[in-house]
A and B are shown apart, each in its own frame.
Chain A
Amino acid sequence: MRRKAAMRLLVAALIVLHLAILLAGFIAPYDPAAQNREFAYAPPTRVRFFDASGFHWRPFVYAISADFNGVHQDRSQKYPLHFFLRGENYKVLGVITTNLHFFGVERQGRIFLFGTDAYGRDEFSRLLYGGQISLAAGLLATFITLFAAAIIGTVSGYYGKFVDESLMGSAELFLCLPWFYFLVGVRAFLPLHLSPASTFLLLISVIGLIGWARPARLIRGVVLSARNRNYVLAARGFGASNFYLLRRHVAPETFGVLLTQAALLVPQYVAAEAVLSFFGLGIAEPVPSWGNMLSTLQQYNVLVSYYWLLAPALALVITSVTYWVLADTIHHWLQSHSI
């Protein structure tokens, strides 16, 4: 019973996380590239219910003003928080243009839930938009890896002999290269400065193609044992073709491994994208990704003074933990349901 409740919680967390990131434009109050140079490094705006005259049902924020000492609250002016208000234009899922935002304040007021960065860009909006890049990179790279791993692992396990030996030999080759060195090494041979879109494609292919070896080995193991099951041998005896056997009997058995591996690989690849962008080898400004947002923290003064810029790290932790729990849950579920 407790397991079931935990699973519901997990599914809810996953849905909320992905929906928030998918609908970044709707939830984010500002455009991720919109700069407010006068409000650089503004601390997170506090959403309040109480002022001098007592409690208010509608939450509000105080105005902010900037001088040489930084950004301050200005208590003389307050702006109530509105929901479903009109703001800057954005595209829903990249198709429909609209200007409806989930929340915000009037144009004169500012609401920076997670503060602002060096250019006065809203960290909260950037976090959501950056999540689109980071998560998409993780998911697509995982898809590439598992696609390659499924084909290689199946062929290797099913056909055996020379094919198996050469494929698994090269898998071992890939496994004995330290992963980040390899990743940076491969990245080194590709052009440095590209448009954000091609950088993104390049990045996911590099991350995705380097990681095929480990899942391929696992899939090979499953295929190897599935191939010699009695019912498979019987089907072969009845004249089933290789393709039929693979599709009908062998491939379905690898499903569990693929699912668990996917849940394990996504957070790993999201982190890989973050590291490459952190190094300046990934997605470049002004397009936000969790990695390039973190890269400002390489300056010690930023790291010490502006704690709110650690928000992408928190997002990475939340994503990784939910996916990790997901992998664990799938693993347990498969174990209790296996024959």
Chain B
Amino acid sequence: MNDGAKIRNLVGWLAILSIVPIIGAFIAAVAALDFDFDALQDTTYTLATLGDRTTLFWWGWLLTAISFSMWVPLVMYLCR
């Protein structure tokens, strides 16, 4: 396998696997708020509800950022 094919395969797998952290992020962020979807939008309610689950909530946002980051090679590969 040449370098071009290796890079293409890596980018392909990154694109597919990028859905894993976004699913994890969604579960973490919503689980931290007792699966109350509306609470995600209610900033007043969020801090009062989180309590000792702030770390879990933080992981939710961090995983979203990781998922976004995994798209960078895809964007650069398709635009090259």
Co-complex (A, B): no
